[in-house]
Amino acid sequence: MVQTPDKPLVSVVTATFNALPELKVTVPNIAGQDFRSVEHIVIDGGSSDGTAEYLAGLGAAVRWLSEPDGGIGDALNKGIAMARGEYVLVLQAEDRFCDPGSLRAAAAELTGGEDIVAFEVDLQFADGSVRRRRSRPFGWLTRFKMTNPHQGMFCRRDLFSRIGAFDPEFRIAMDYEFLLRAMQRGAQLKAVPWPVAVMPATGISTQADWPSIRARLAEDRRLQRRHAAGFASRLMTEAFWVVYMPFKYMKVWLSHG
């Protein structure tokens, strides 16, 4: 692919709503990458905190849209529809690349034609500690859990055309539903064993309280049921949840005891 300003290699898409301080972490981080074949698209859900004014002041550095949306999945789909890059990466407000050379290093891995190139991601907690979230190839584990954080997933833009974009019905696990759907539709995934991005442990997908975990697990269970093909797969899914839901509850209860 010939890379020009109108046809960059990577489109980074950010969905945001009333998160201006966090957005001010992500925007300069992407702009500070030493790899220039990238565009940044920000979809704002009609914030009232000055986000639109901030984006307007950035000029051509960011392509953006500010209007009400139907949730994160809907906002991301708007950004994907605007994307011109060969690959699409989702970084939300306050997510960031590990260092100024991260995108250039990642681009060197985007040469094999895979539908998804998945890197590891560092999950950073408020006390400064970090837990690495691994990248994994497709396999049986993907059937039961999100195996690759979206902050590390470079997806070919044409993959969204072939299998569909994010399902707005899922307000928490839309990335997992997309990944599971991609696996079942035969997409090729390459797992790269080093981190490209840092995500803060502030989103609902990283919260450790039981209401947040229960909401997340409810979506996981629903999407797994949707994608369970055949009697054996459905039986395995139900058996998994009979064991896993009480296990998670007990784990949370013990950690707060």
Q: What is the pLDDT of residue 235?
A: 94
CATH code of residue 89: 3.90.550.10
Q: Across residues 85-102, what is the average pLDDT?
A: 98
Residue 231 falls within a domain, yes or no? no
Domain total of the chain: 1
Of 215, 137, 142, nearest to 173 (Cα)?
A: 215
- The answer to whether the beta carbons of residues 26 and 92 sit under 8 Å apart is yes
DSSP state of 35: -
- What is d(CA 129, CA 142) in angstroms, rounded to the nearest whole number? 27
DSSP H stretches of helix in the chain = 20-31, 51-56, 72-82, 102-107, 157-163, 174-184, 210-226, 231-255
pTM over 0.75: yes
Residue 217 falls within a domain, yes or no? no
Residue 253 falls within a domain, yes or no? no
Per-residue pLDDT tens digits for 42-87: 999 999 999 999 999 999 999 999 999 999 999 999 999 999 999 9
Query: Domain range holding 169?
Result: 10-203
Residue 218 falls within a domain, yes or no? no
Residue given tokens 């209401």 in the structure block: 211
51 phi/psi in degrees, rounded to 5: -60, -45
Residue 59 falls within a domain, yes or no? yes
Residue 103 falls within a domain, yes or no? yes
Residue 4 falls within a domain, yes or no? no
